[in-house]
Amino acid sequence: MNTIKFGTDGWRAIIADDFTIENLKRVAWATALWVKEQKQPKPSVVVGYDCRFGGKMFAETSAKVFASAGIKVYLSKDFVSTPMVSLATKNLDASCGVIITASHNPPSYNGFKLKGSYGGPALPAMINEVEKLIPEAFTGHVKSHDEYVKEHLIVYHDFETDYIAHAESSFDLNAIRNSGIRIGYDGMYGAGQNAAKKLLPGATLLHCDFNPSFHGTAPEPIMKNLTEIAELIKKNQDIDFAFATDGDADRIGLLDNKGNFVDSHHIILMLIKYLHYYKKKKGKVVNSFSCTSKIGEMCAQFGIEQIVTKIGFKYICEFMIKEDVMVGGEESGGIAVTGHIPERDGIWIALTLLEYMAKTGKSLDDLIQDVYNTVGTFALERYDLHIDETLKQRIVKNCNDGYYISFGNYNIIKAETIDGFKYHLGKDKWVMIRASGTEPVLRIYAEAPNYAEAVKILNETKEDVLKG
């Protein structure tokens, strides 16, 4: 049997290659062993699945493995989002949660995400412990699904209805629905589609039907995958606010009334402004290392404590479950806010922004301009350089050795190394170099007062580092 390694957010693999029934049983059994080690009087696990191929089969297989260990399973009735599983894990006081999903990966993948009892991503310690328990083969005895249902070891639960009730009690949905805001939603054939239809009944919908292959496109809510809804906005000009969620609906992509992409950096700043300035919420702001420096500026102006973490939402979650955190966010579209769970949630973030617009009567452009009025204009861009591993490691060594003193005409003023190498190039300008730990990819991020200069910084950095 092959060695199974968990990534930053669970185990993902290609269906019928590494992601097989037998390998899934190994991972589920390791999770069951971990649950048993916690020695809880009534251990239980929440299990759900998204819209990917084989999701129901893989979820039921996992449920049977847990039941074979005497662990009660709350199993979703239909496909559900990751935030729904996280919320159910917390509300049902379960030992942990599992969702069968590969998030935004291509359709050929599926995966196994672990959730903590607090309703958020499993922390690194738990992931490491489960990984060490994965056996070379599953040798246990599993009875039929129906037998476990009769024994009440597998119980079906409606996670989606619970999630919608939580949203209805947390937002002024009447204000949103009666605001006149014309909403567009691209479900990307993912697990957020049914909840979005119910919560935003007047929205213009796209890709909100069941298609386990996602029509051949990875369900990642980035601009290159959202051209269809962007063109719809430009053509019809009757959408004020459009958003998309990824395959398991824990990440958001946002577009304005002209079809322009609004990145996570702007979203995080709008959320801080709304929750602190308008709703008078308290708490810290936690963001990943690759986020805009403008978050720090806004926090300083508002007297809010900011914490910067390594890249990966699990690091943000660690703070959210221990401290009072108002907003936690990362560059890739995963954002969480106070009053919910310590989990990324694309629909929840969209509802927060829509309530902001409805309550203030401002457009999305107005909210962005408010951000600029507070901290100044800015733009970020990122290049993913697909290079061979040897060159990638040479560049990383150069960074470690302090080899770079400038990139093109930009002199390095100082460097930070929280996760990768962030080089400050003067006021409101920086470039960051970070190597992927799982593939031959070198990521370069840049921030500047405008998009043209951010791209210029990227190009000059790219040219210098590729020299080796």
pLDDT by position in tens, the chain (length 468):
588 988 877 899 999 999 999 999 999 999 999 999 999 999 999 999 999 999 999 999 999 999 999 999 999 999 999 999 999 999 999 999 999 999 999 999 999 999 999 999 999 999 999 999 999 999 999 999 999 999 999 999 999 999 999 999 999 999 999 999 999 999 999 999 999 999 999 999 999 999 999 999 999 999 999 999 999 999 988 999 999 999 999 999 999 999 999 999 999 999 999 999 999 999 999 999 999 999 999 999 999 999 999 998 999 999 999 999 999 999 989 999 999 999 999 999 999 999 999 999 999 999 999 999 999 999 999 999 999 989 999 999 999 999 999 999 999 999 999 999 999 999 999 999 999 866 678 999 999 999 999 999 999 999 999 987
Under 8 Å CB-to-CB from 65, ≥6 apart: which residues? Answer: 25, 28, 29, 32, 138, 140, 142
φ, ψ at 269 (rounded to 5°) = -65, -40
In angstroms, the CA 359 to CA 349 distance is 15
Question: What pLDDT sits at residue 3?
Answer: 87
pLDDT in tens, 112-128: 999 999 999 999 999 99
**Same fold flag, 11-162 and 262-375:** yes
Angle between helices 294-302 and 364-375 (to 10 degrees): 80
Does the global pTM surpass 0.85?
Answer: yes
Q: Hey, where are the domains in the chain?
A: 11-162, 164-261, 262-375, 379-465
Q: Which residue has the tokens 């605001």?
A: 179
Yes or no: domain 262-375 corresponds to CATH 3.20.10.10: no
Orientation of helix 159-170 relative to helix 346-360, angle to 10°: 20
Cα separations (Å) of 286 from 188, 219, 259, 410, 418?
A: 28, 26, 29, 29, 14
What's the CA gap between 345 and 357, in Å, rounded? 19
For the domain made up of 379-465, give the CATH fold: TATA-Binding Protein (3.30.310)
pLDDT in tens, 218-257: 999 999 999 999 999 999 889 999 999 999 999 999 999 9
Rounded to 10 degrees, the C-alpha dihedral 69/72/78/83 comes to -100
Q: Which of 279, 336, 327 is closest to 307 using CA atoms? A: 327
241 vs 250: CA distance, rounded Å: 19
Structure tokens that stand for 360 in this block: 């203030």
Q: 406-407 and 379-386 as β-strands: parallel, antiparallel, unpaired?
A: unpaired
- Looking at residue 1, its pLDDT comes to 59
Query: In the CATH hierarchy, which fold is given to the domain comprising 11-162?
Result: Alpha-D-Glucose-1,6-Bisphosphate; Chain A, domain 3 (3.40.120)
Closest CA to 126 of 307, 308, 321: 321
CATH superfamily of 164-261: Alpha-D-Glucose-1,6-Bisphosphate, subunit A, domain 3 (3.40.120.10)
Contact 420, 435 (CB under 8 A): yes
Per-residue pLDDT, 367:
98
Q: Give the torsion sign (CA, 322, 326, 330, 334).
A: positive
Rounded to whole angstroms, the maximal C-alpha distance in the chain is 71
364: amino acid identity, one letter? L
Amino acid at 292: T
Q: For residues 399 and 33, what is the distance between their CA atoms, to the nearest angstrom? A: 42
- pLDDT of the residue at 382: 95
Angle of the 82-91 helix axis to the 159-170 helix axis, nearest 10? 90
Residue given tokens 């601009």 in the structure block? 223
The answer to whether 353 and 245 are in contact (CB under 8 A) is no
